[in-house]
Structure 1
Amino acid sequence: MTSSAHQHPILDKPFVLDLFAGPGGLDVAAQSLGLPSLGIEWDKSACLTRYAAGLDTLHADVSAARRDSFESLPPEINVLAGGPPCQTYSVAGHGAGRQALEEVKKYIERLMAGESDHRIDEDLKSLPDPRTALVLEPLRYAIQATRSPNRGHRPYDVIVLEQVPAVEALWRHYAMVLQGMGLPDGTKYKVVVGTLATETYGVPQTRSRAVLIARREGLGKPSLPGPTHYSYEAKEWNRRNGTSAPDPAADQVHQPTLDDDVVAASKGDDEPDPWRSMRDAIGNPVGSHPGRPKPFLVRSNYGSSGNPGRRGVRTDQQPAATVTGRISRFVVFEHLDEKIVYEGPRFSMNEAGMLQTFPPDYPWSGTAQAQQVGNAVPPLFGAHLLSAALDLPKPDLEALRKPWQPATEEQRAKLRSSGCGAADACTDRCPPPEEQVPPPSTVRPRKGKKKASAE
């Protein structure tokens, strides 16, 4: 079931806690909706991006923050959100999480039955990859909220989670226990789960995400956000354009799937818009981005959500393939004339962020910036999730197309003092330095490998 009409906000003052916050996808989404948020992020570089963007941040390991500093979190937080690390569940990874799905489901039931954290933590050490257990953290935060004297033992009102499609089975198990067993204190939720295509929400990129939206009983039944754009179908595109495998050395016919004037004249109020293309996102100058005035092709060596039909070469009038930490490897070809192409500049981090629907000139900082971009929740998609969860109006795409105004040096120093404990450096409050850099995604995790965080 999807929502298509604005009703009434279910909370007077929503305040979002963003777990595994990354560089700020969900926080930017919240800000575009006028909602305060606090992100917990473990990676130092992602935190530097967040400080530069002016986002409230706690530089900490999510698990450690739950154990050691939960009582210091603002008690008025009433919306729990986040996207736990996906490396062990993603089809691009080695699959430790997918192989452990049934075991993780048992841990969900043990948590809901009120089993001690210490015992569960000891047993979780047996998982081949400790990152697999991080998918349990949202549930553990929900339980901890009901045990918190600082909150008056008040549960979260709303929970919003997203992950790679392989995690849908776990979200459905979350839903079953949240609706049936309830939290150990008896709190129950109404829950909806589904896998959504981000291009159907205006993201110029084919990316599928498993999502969960839960509302505490008494706040009404939640719905998934209604799509605002048509889905992208590779076979339909190829049929319309007379090609099954675009070749950067071949002449390409650049034409939209639907004529814009026809769409404007015939589309009803509730009918979806055409999906957005790469040219829609980065073709025109905006902020410091000069635009890409020439037609271009993009060759990706990376699949899209395990769907082989979504990989390969695309024109600028198609959505991008899934933006990942390998976005800098995408090769861009530009036309000299109708029959000659040459390799042009690859996507800048600003352009990669815009393909994720981050505002132009978002202040990417620190190292591994491509990984930060690829790991992030697309802000526009996140805004649709939050809007549906809270019964807010559908988000305004234009709000995310305006150049981002970075924080001043004074603001950055203040945010870092709050998040790290010092205005210009990490402190003992932060994760140990050797744990603040995520391992390369191509490295097979070993037993005992340190935790990684990704949005």
Structure 2
Amino acid sequence: MIKVNYNALCTNKKGLDLFCGAGGLSLGFMMAGGTPVGAIDNDIDAISTYKSIFPMAKSVYLGDIKEWHPEDEIKEVDIIFGGPPCQGFSLARGTRFVDDPRNHLYQEFVRLVEHYNPQWFVMENVQGIMNIGGGVIYQQILEDFESLGFQVECRVINMAEYGVPQLRKRAVFVGNRMGVNFQWPTKTNAKKVQKTPKHEVDLPDYNSVNSALSDLPLPIGNYFSHRANAQMRGPRNRIAEKQPAYTLRVRGDEFALCEHPAVSAFIPGDAPEEPVSYHLIKTSLQEFYRQSAPEWVDHPIIEVIDTHNTTVLTGTRKLTLRESARLQTFPDWVKFQGRRTSQAKQIGNAVPPLFGYHLFCQIFSYMN
């Protein structure tokens, strides 16, 4: 179980969040003991969410990153992190991608790393970034940061291996200018199959959908289902009690909880009302969601029901926003701003804070 002391932030570890969204990486950074001091995004609702979570951030900017000059308020940072939109990674003339105007967002990330020269940086993107153009873009990214004096490691991470109840794979670049041979944080969970490496045999299985959601007074589904799209012949189903969710996407209506496995072009029923209470805690993951909020936010939900959730779902239904947020490991005290579609976008685009926590704890161990 993770115990977070928000009142004891390590203010000597200052972080700058580029393309911050709702602040998933910043939240993991803060949970690990760092202080977010600045952030930027061009989504007005995401910036509103970010400001409500991180009032200590001195410079939170809404707009074009090319027009942002955070040095007016932030003189230095220890870590820069963020995820440039993947649309920026495209090939130009088949060999290099730096001259393509669509790549300016990634170039701005590099520019700010060069300007601040932090000890560390973390850059997250879709796993496909590793092999676009036969690996040309991947090699270019390594070269760009190595030319600035950074030693870079990259790995495709399955977030489920760090406690996230979701099969979410992302490419994560970690660079440092301290000459450190970075070792990735130790996994906390492993899929129980015969091919599991020996050193992972004793790890608990992936957290399941129901391990994250079953303390909410809502009908519990037997299956977590993904609607079919142009790339799929039909819907996909996972056992909610035993398996993690599929990767959450920007559109929350792609996923549903179902009584029976979804077949054909199923249309899930409406999402129930967001709960205003909880059943008694069943798992450490649920305790993590309900941990005490920091002093600068109002604790949203306090009431606890002294019963077990025995309501079984009949038919199908969409996820609530809180359920989606839990599958991304946002604590329950986080309140997303904007309309429902905007909130779903903020949740789907985020890096799970629980993974960020493990990653930054590992980075801090080198800095300490």
Q: TM-score, normalised by structure 2?
A: 0.70
- Label 1:346 to 1:165 Cα distance change in 2 as closer, same or farther (>3 A): same
Match of 1:227? 187
User: Equivalent of 1:300, from 217, 221, 226?
Assistant: 226
Secondary structure in 2 aligned to 1:387?
A: helix
Q: How does 1:189-338 map to 2 (within 5 A)?
A: 189-218=150-179, 220-231=180-191, 271-285=202-216, 290-292=217-219, 294-301=220-227, 312-317=236-241, 318-334=243-259
Q: Verify: 1:365 aligned to 2:337, yes or no.
A: yes
Q: Which AA in structure 2 matches 1:191?
A: V
Unmatched segments (≥5 aa) in structure 1: 1-10, 90-96, 108-122, 146-154, 237-266, 394-455
> What is the 5 A alignment of 1:339-354?
342-354=314-326
Whole-angstrom CA distance in 2 between matches of 1:177 and 1:365:
36
Q: Secondary structure at the match of 2:205?
A: coil
Contact map agreement 1:171 1:211 (CA 8 A) in 2 = no
- C-alpha separation in 2, matches of 1:269 and 1:212: 23
Question: What is the aligned partner in structure 2 of residue 178 from structure 1?
Answer: 145
Secondary structure of the 1:173 match is: helix
Match of 1:241 in 2: none
Residues 160-210 of structure 1 deviation map (CA, whole Å, 9 limit, x = unaligned):
11100122343443223433xx22xxxx12111111111111110011100
Sequence identity of aligned pairs in percent? Answer: 26
Relative distance call for 1:140 and 1:275 in structure 2 (3 A) is same
Deviations 1:405-441 (A, max 9, x none): xxxxxxxxxxxxxxxxxxxxxxxxxxxxxxxxxxxxx
Inter-CA distance 200–59: structure 2 relative to 1 (3 Å threshold): same
Q: 1:189 to 1:328 in 2, by over 3 A?
A: same
Residue in structure 2 matching 1:142, options 64, 89, 113: 113
Structure 1 position 163 matched with structure 2 position 125: yes
Q: Deviations over 1:315-348 (max 9, x none)?
A: 212111101112233222237xxxx973243211
Distance 1:332 1:79 in 2: 39
Say whether residues 1:383 and 2:314 are aligned partners. no
In the aligned structure 1, how far is the partner of 2:239 from the partner of 2:201? 28
The amino acid that maps onto 2:187 is: P
Based on CA coordinates, which of the two structures has the bigger radius of gyration? Answer: 1
Query: 1-side partners of 2:90 and 2:191: how far apart?
Result: 27
Q: Is the 8 A contact 1:228 1:273 kept in 2?
A: yes
Number of paired residues?
A: 292
Confirm or deny: 8 A CA contact 1:214 1:389 kept in the other structure.
no
Determine the C-alpha separation between the residues in 2 that align with 1:387 and 1:102: 39
- Mapped to 2, the partners of 1:321 and 1:32 lie a distance apart of 25
Per the alignment, do residues 390 and 100 of structure 1 end up closer, same or farther by CA in structure 2, a change over 3 Å counting? farther
Shift in Å, 1:311? 6.8
> 2:93 and 2:257 mapped to 1: Cα distance?
38
Q: Secondary structure at the match of 1:225?
A: coil
Kindly indicate whether the alpha-carbon contact (under 8 Å) linking 1:19 and 1:62 is maintained by their aligned counterparts in 2: no
Change (3 A) 1:342 1:355: same
Separation of aligned partners in 2, 1:348 and 1:172? 40
CA contact (8 A) 2:40 2:65 kept: no
Distance in 1 between residues matched to 2:93 and 2:187, nearest whole Å: 29
Q: CA deviation at 1:19?
A: 0.3
Letter of the 1:334 counterpart? E
For residues 211-234 of structure 1, the C-alpha deviation after alignment (integer angstroms, 9 at most, x for no partner) is: 11111134x22222232211487x
Change (3 A) 1:328 1:295: closer
**CA contact 1:204–1:355 (8 Å) conserved in 2:** yes
**Matched position secondary structure for 1:342:** coil
* 1:23 aligned partner, one-letter code: A
TM-score (norm 1): 0.57
Partner of residue 24, structure 2 = 25
Distance 1:382 1:16 in 2: 13
Two-structure CA RMSD over aligned residues (Å): 3.2
Q: Would the aligned equivalents of 1:29 and 1:382 in 2 still touch at CA under 8 Å?
A: yes
Q: Hey, what does 1:83 align to over in structure 2?
A: 83
Q: 1:341 to 1:282 in 2, by over 3 A?
A: closer
Q: Which amino acid aligns with 2:50?
A: R
**1:97-150 alpha-carbon deviations (Å, 9 max, x no partner):** 4555955x452xxxxxxxxxxxxxxx544xxxx3x43222221111222xxxxx
Aligned pair partner of 1:61 in 50, 60, 63: 63
Residue 28 to residue 341, structure 1, CA distance change in 2 (3 Å):
closer
Moved more, 35-44 or 19-28: 35-44
Change (3 A) 1:71 1:52: closer
CA separation of 1:310/1:334 partners in 2, compared to 1, >3 Å: closer, same or farther?
A: closer
In the alignment, the residues of structure 2 paired with residue 232 and residue 166 of structure 1 have an alpha-carbon distance, to the nearest angstrom, of 26
Which protein, 1 or 2, shows the higher relative CO under an 8 Å CA cutoff with sep ≥ 6? 1
- How far 1:52 sits from its partner (Å)? 2.9
